[in-house]
């Protein structure tokens, strides 16, 4: 059985532990039976959050004032965003949480899984061609959601407050309503056009207009049940029944058994030494942590080539694109769910390997795309929407959390009588290995569809520590742009010594091997004028994308946290004394 009464089992295991050394090692590794940690001294003069929406920030502030720690605040934020940031906040999706608690790094994978009925060819027609939209819209696009199980697991392992307390702000927002922001209203209109009546999206969301108070009583009832019965309600209880009823009514693939068997997984985070910092970031099934470490290390190896190259100049863009080319070649070939495919993580971030890859960089002109093969021996498109929040508490703990329903408003399906927006995460699998996905990235067999498998992600919730203390907590939405964005902000802070606000606001760009020699620019700070001409003169094609990213970052200087929400989004920060 998946969800258990942990009080009873903890007592039983503690009794066993005194009898046997074997039990003691079991206690050590099993999060469900973690011992009560010793109290922590206060080490910072404030707690802080950077989050995509003001209501969630208020929720976090409330939790801190009640004595909660970073994990309590993170869980409260995740549930609040499911109500007030419904385009990406969710309980119908999944994500990744990187934590630094009591001086130790942890990583929680609560990514969606393919349902048991999933097959390798489920999105292909009789001729073997990808059926347009099938992995993006409607019930067939939905992976088994992990968010509720993830939040339950994190809060029960590390939270200080009662589970009910962290659900309370979200319940109030759903029951009493929140005032709809102009950006949210616009995103709802765009999504409505995209779904084009293929799903029940408009039935639920058509009244969510700029300035109105939007109430969600059905979602309030779901959240209230979860606050009383825990994650069990979502995976085995009345909410599970509502999800399965929606699936049955629309011939969708997710069954009771899919929900019952869902599990979040504690994994070893990726850790790497860089520039005097310990980088703690997302392992597979994210490609992002490996990609981030590869980018950081290759840039450091190529320091002589970067010497005196001005920030965001044409030569800078070229050198970063050359490095990115190699990172995306590896991403396409080697990365997938580690429970199904042996990902060569250590080799991919090995210094000698990266030195060899960096030596292939052409300092003058773009390397021929076809010549850039996976380095140990091909790339997929993906949706950019998703959301991230960063949290630190005054005890020095940190949470970096990125979670998603993939595109804004996911699959466009809202579970009737529950108000749960279901994800379209199945699009992050390689529907046909070798064919690009929505973000233009190509996938290999490592990311082919299989029952229970998690699709490859780019989400990269990251924490940097120095001398055992948290120095930076950072993440962003952006699909395959996630780790190239985080890389650029980290580089801005530590290589270019920019203040955090400037580092986050600076222009960002993106290259990902395919399409060949293409540099994507963002609407927030377009590449234009002389810079555009100089980059084109180097042999690149410039292409605008419609997404700018939404970095949420906290930097700690001494004992003072500074939080910055990306000016590209509607995010806010709070520093709570
Ligand atoms: N669906 C976006 C990601 O997982 O990276």
Percent of the chain predicted with pLDDT > 90: 82
Distances from the Cα of 103 to the Cα of 129, 222, 272, 385, 395, angstroms: 50, 35, 16, 32, 10
Residues 251 and 335 in one domain: no
For ligand 1, say whether the CB of 459 is within 6 Å of any of its atoms: yes
Query: Which candidate in 147, 281, 386, 404 is catalytic?
Result: 386
Which of 447, 470, 497 is the last residue before a domain boundary? 447
Measured in whole angstroms, the distance separating CA 94 from the mean position of its chain's CA atoms is: 8
Residues 275 and 262 in one domain: no
CA of 306 to the centre of ligand 1 (A): 31
Residues 374 and 468 in one domain: yes
> Concatenated DSSP letters for 442-473?
B--GGGB--TTPPPPB----EEEEETTEEEEE
Residue 452 belongs to some domain of the structure:
no
For ligand 1, say whether the CB of 382 is within 6 Å of any of its atoms: yes
Residues 216 and 133 in one domain: yes
pLDDT at 186: 96
Residue 42 belongs to some domain of the structure:
no
Residues 377 and 390 in one domain: no
pLDDT tens profile 166-185: 999 999 999 999 999 999 99
Residues 251 and 312 in one domain: no
Mean pLDDT score across all residues of the chain: 90
Residues 417 and 498 in one domain: no
Which of 426, 447, 468 is the last residue before a domain boundary? 447
For ligand 1, say whether the CB of 485 is within 6 Å of any of its atoms: no
pLDDT tens profile 18-43: 323 333 332 333 344 444 567 899 99
For ligand 1, say whether the CB of 122 is within 6 Å of any of its atoms: no
* Domain harbouring 544, CATH code: 1.10.246.130
CA of 45 to the centre of ligand 1 (A): 34
Number of domains making up the chain? 2
Residue 16 belongs to some domain of the structure:
no
CA 253/CA 241 separation, integer angstroms: 14
Residue nearest to atom 3 of ligand 1 (CA): 457
Q: What is the mean pLDDT of residues 265-282?
A: 98
Residues 152 and 253 in one domain: yes
Q: What is the mean pLDDT of residues 524-539?
A: 97
CA 160/CA 163 separation, integer angstroms: 9
Q: Which of 88, 135, 404, 478 to mutate to test the pocket of ligand 1 (most atoms within 8 A of CB)?
A: 404
For ligand 1, say whether the CB of 428 is within 6 Å of any of its atoms: yes
Ligand 1 atom having least distance to the Cα of 406: 1
Residue nearest to atom 4 of ligand 1 (CA): 457
Residue 393 belongs to some domain of the structure:
yes
pLDDT tens profile 442-454: 556 788 999 999 9
CA of 559 to the centre of ligand 1 (A): 33
CA of 5 to the centre of ligand 1 (A): 32
CA of 459 to the centre of ligand 1 (A): 6
Residue 11 belongs to some domain of the structure:
no
Residue range of the domain that includes 171: 47-267+386-447
Would you call the peptide bond into 515 cis, given omega within 30 degrees of 0 as the criterion?
A: yes
Residue 5 belongs to some domain of the structure:
no
pLDDT tens profile 244-262: 999 999 999 999 999 999 9
CA of 552 to the centre of ligand 1 (A): 17
Does residue 534 have a pLDDT over 50?
yes
CA 273/CA 23 separation, integer angstroms: 34
Residue 57 belongs to some domain of the structure:
yes
Phi/psi for 124 (5° steps) reads -110, 150
Distances from the Cα of 77 to the Cα of 98, 158, 396, angstroms: 15, 15, 19
Residues 519 and 542 in one domain: yes
Does residue 280 have a pLDDT over 90?
yes
Residues 57 and 162 in one domain: yes
For ligand 1, say whether the CB of 406 is within 6 Å of any of its atoms: yes
Residues 395 and 328 in one domain: no
CA of 382 to the centre of ligand 1 (A): 7
C-alpha atoms less than 13 angstroms from C-alpha of 547 in its C-beta half-sphere: 22
Ligand 1 atom having least distance to the Cα of 427: 1
Q: What is the mean pLDDT of residues 89-93?
A: 98
Ligand 1 atom having least distance to the Cα of 404: 1
Residues 291 and 394 in one domain: no
Q: Which pLDDT band holds residue 5 (cuts at 50, 70, 90)?
A: very low
Residue nearest to atom 1 of ligand 1 (CA): 406
424 compared with 435, residue with greater pLDDT: 424
User: Catalytic residue at 386?
Assistant: yes
Residue 437 belongs to some domain of the structure:
yes
Would you call the peptide bond into 296 cis, given omega within 30 degrees of 0 as the criterion?
A: no
């Amino acid at each position: 059985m998946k969800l258990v009464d942990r009080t009873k089992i903890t007592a039983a295991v503690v009794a066993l532990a005194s009898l046997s050394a074997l039990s003691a090692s079991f206690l050590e590794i099993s999060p469900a039976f973690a011992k009560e940690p010793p109290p922590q001294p206060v080490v910072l003069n404030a707690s802080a959050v950077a989050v995509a929406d003001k209501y969630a920030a208020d929720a976090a502030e409330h939790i801190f004032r009640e004595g909660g720690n970073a994990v309590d605040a993170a869980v409260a934020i995740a549930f609040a965003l499911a109500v007030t940031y419904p385009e990406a906040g969710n309980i119908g999706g999944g994500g990744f949480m990187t934590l630094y608690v009591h001086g130790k790094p942890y990583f929680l994978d609560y990514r969606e899984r393919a349902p048991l009925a999933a097959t390798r060819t489920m999105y292909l027609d009789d001729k073997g061609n990808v059926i347009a939209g099938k992995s993006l819209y409607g019930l067939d696009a939905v992976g088994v959601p992990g968010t509720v199980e993830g939040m339950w697991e994190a809060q029960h392992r590390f939270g200080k407050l009662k589970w009910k307390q962290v659900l309370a702000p979200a319940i109030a927002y759903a029951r009493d309503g929140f005032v709809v922001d102009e950006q949210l209203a616009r995103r709802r209109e765009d999504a409505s056009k995209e779904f084009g009546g293929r799903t029940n999206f408009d039935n639920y969301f058509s009244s969510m207009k700029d300035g109105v108070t939007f109430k969600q009583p059905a979602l309030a009832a779901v959240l209230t049940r979860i606050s009383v019965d825990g994650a069990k309600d979502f995976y085995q209880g009345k909410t599970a029944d509502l999800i399965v009823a929606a699936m049955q009514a629309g011939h969708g693939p997710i069954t009771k058994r899919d929900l019952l068997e869902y599990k979040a997984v504690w994994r070893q985070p990726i850790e790497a030494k860089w520039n005097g910092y310990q980088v703690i970031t997302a392992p597979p099934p994210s490609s992002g942590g490996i990609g981030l470490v590869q980018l950081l290390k290759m840039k450091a190896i190529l320091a002589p080539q970067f010497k005196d190259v001005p920030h965001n100049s044409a030569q800078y863009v070229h050198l970063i694109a050359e490095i990115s080319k190699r990172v995306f070649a590896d991403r396409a070939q080697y990365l997938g769910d580690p429970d199904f495919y042996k990902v060569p993580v250590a080799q991919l971030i090995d210094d000698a390997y990266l030195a060899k890859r960096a030596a292939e960089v052409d300092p003058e002109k773009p390397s021929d795309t076809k010549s850039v093969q996976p380095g140990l021996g091909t790339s997929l498109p993906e949706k950019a929407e998703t959301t991230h929040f960063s949290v630190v508490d005054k005890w020095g703990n940190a949470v970096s959390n990125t979670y998603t329903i993939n595109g804004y408003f996911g699959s466009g399906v809202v579970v009737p009588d529950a108000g749960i927006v279901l994800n379209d995460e199945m699009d992050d699998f390689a529907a046909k290995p070798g064919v690009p996905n929505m973000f233009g990235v190509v996938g290999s067999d490592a990311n082919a569809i299989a029952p229970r498998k998690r699709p490859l992600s780019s989400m990269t919730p990251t924490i940097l520590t120095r001398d055992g203390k948290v120095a930076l907590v950072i993440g962003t939405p952006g699909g395959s742009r996630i780790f190239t964005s985080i890389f650029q902000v980290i580089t801005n802070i530590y290589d270019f010594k920019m203040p955090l606000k400037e580092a986050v606001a600076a222009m960002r760009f993106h290259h990902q091997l395919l399409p060949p020699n293409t540099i994507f620019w963002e609407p927030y700070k377009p590449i234009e004028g002389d810079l555009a001409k100089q980059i084109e003169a180097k042999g690149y094609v410039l292409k605008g994308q419609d997404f700018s990213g939404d970095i949420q970052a906290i930097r700690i200087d001494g004992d003072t946290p500074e939080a910055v929400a990306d000016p590209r989004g509607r995010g806010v920060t709070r520093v709570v004394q």
